[in-house]
Structure 1
Amino acid sequence: MSSARLPVLEKFIADLRTIWSTEADNQRRMERAKPLLEQLVKDAGLKAHSASWPSTEGYKNLLLYVDPDHHFVINAVVRMPGRTGSVHDHADAWVLYGVLDGSESLERYERVDDGSRPGYAEVRLASVSTGTQGKVDLVPPGAIHAEQGGPTRSVAIIVRSQRLGQGTVLQHTYDPKAKTVIERYGPTQVPYELVA
């Protein structure tokens, strides 16, 4: 018998389902969902609960929820101190990324070549912002970025407009120094229940 989800997560899911059922455009859905995620990642009880969540070291996400009707996904990432992330995009998915605990930096890149050479990409760092608890970033489709861990363990909650896990959607991963780009599937999804 499965246990009940955390009430704060149940409410968040119900609110997202309301948005998805009344709004067809993914950009508008995410814009409306952003203040809800901001509220969720400021929740002291959820932050305390996250202290026991397992690390997602390697190319993994905790899979907290996949909506059976609207197909949006809620993930969590637990980074160990100083963990570096790859420079990547999320293909055609919209993503909200909210810091629940610790701090992380979000690096945004811009592509400066014309994209005409397969496997080749010149990208340069355009901006860096630091996120602490309560900070939420909206990452549009195709936006090239990287999340970098801070000096302590950090936890983030992610809302995706579609599932990007292993074997579902090809994303791009960039190497700014080597000036290369490859296609690869999104991170391995590790099912994880947030129970009360």
Structure 2
Amino acid sequence: MPYSLEQFCEDARASLRKETGPAGLESLARYLEKLIVDADFVAEYLGPDKRSGAETIYIDPEFDFRVMAHTNRGASKNSPHCHGPSWVVYGMAINFVEMTEWERHDDGNVEGVAALVPTKKYTLREGEAHVYNEGVIHSLNRPLETRLVRVTGCDLDRTLRYRYDPEKGTVKVLEPAS
């Protein structure tokens, strides 16, 4: 049965009206799994004509969540990061991504220093969505071209976030855009 972006946004909003915490986000993720396997949605927002990069395709007027279509034309690997006070849900539409979750093993008292340890590694496959609650440090390895949908709890460009380098033991604060 077809499942549109509009239906997803209505269902996501209904989930968040019931519960804005982890249970609501898990419900939202299940709806995202329906969306990322819809052939019409994938063709329109993640099709072969899309340029590499991210495109915001919906901003919710009630909860301010964002739905973004990501096209990654080649292999890429990003460093561990977290979205600060925002949650994020990734939904894999085409190919797969290798995910790693990390924990800090320092007290955060020394500016610019962070000791990270990987705690979980898994593959996010086509048709699967995964929730990262506020402050969860994660990294993505895309060995192939990928297409995914990312739903964020707010405008991440206007949110304090963190990027880590586990080899150097450093953390960089990503200040909100003004």
Give the TM-score normalised by the residue count of structure 2.
0.89
Gaps of 5+ in 2: none
- SS of aligned partner of 2:161: strand
In structure 2, C-alpha distance between the alignment counterparts of 1:182 and 1:169, rounded to whole Å: 14
How many equivalent residue pairs? Answer: 174
8 Å Cα contact 2:68/2:149 also seen in 1: yes
- Per-residue deviation, 1:12: 0.9
- Per-residue deviation, 1:137: 1.0
Partner amino acid, structure 1, of 2:15: I
Question: What is the aligned partner in structure 1 of residue 117 from structure 2?
Answer: 124
- In structure 2, do the counterparts of structure 1 residues 45 and 27 end up closer, same or farther at CA, with 3 Å as the change threshold? same
Which of 8, 18, 35 is equivalent to 2:4?
Answer: 8
- Per-residue deviation, 1:44: 2.2
Which of 92, 99, 113 is equivalent to 2:92?
Answer: 99
- Per-residue deviation, 1:179: 0.6
Matched, 1:55 2:52: yes
Partner amino acid, structure 2, of 1:74: V
Which structure 2 residues correspond to residues 31-180 of structure 1 after superposition, within 5 A?
A: 31-49=26-44, 50-51=46-47, 52-56=49-53, 61-151=54-144, 153-165=145-157, 168-180=158-170
Partner amino acid, structure 1, of 2:62: D
Which of 152, 173, 177 is equivalent to 1:183?
Answer: 173
Give the TM-score normalised by the residue count of structure 1.
0.81
- SS of aligned partner of 1:116: coil
- Per-residue deviation, 1:176: 0.6
- In structure 2, do the counterparts of structure 1 residues 73 and 26 end up closer, same or farther at CA, with 3 Å as the change threshold? farther
Partner amino acid, structure 2, of 1:18: A
- SS of aligned partner of 1:47: helix
Gaps of 5+ in 1: 1-5, 188-196
In structure 2, C-alpha distance between the alignment counterparts of 1:173 and 1:183, rounded to whole Å: 7
Partner amino acid, structure 1, of 2:156: L
- In structure 2, do the counterparts of structure 1 residues 102 and 162 end up closer, same or farther at CA, with 3 Å as the change threshold? same
Alpha carbon RMSD of aligned pairs, Å?
Answer: 2.0
Partner amino acid, structure 2, of 1:107: T
- Per-residue deviation, 1:185: 4.3
List 4+ stretches of structure 1 deviating above 6 A: none
8 Å Cα contact 2:87/2:152 also seen in 1: yes
Question: What is the aligned partner in structure 1 of residue 14 from structure 2?
Answer: 18
- SS of aligned partner of 2:27: helix
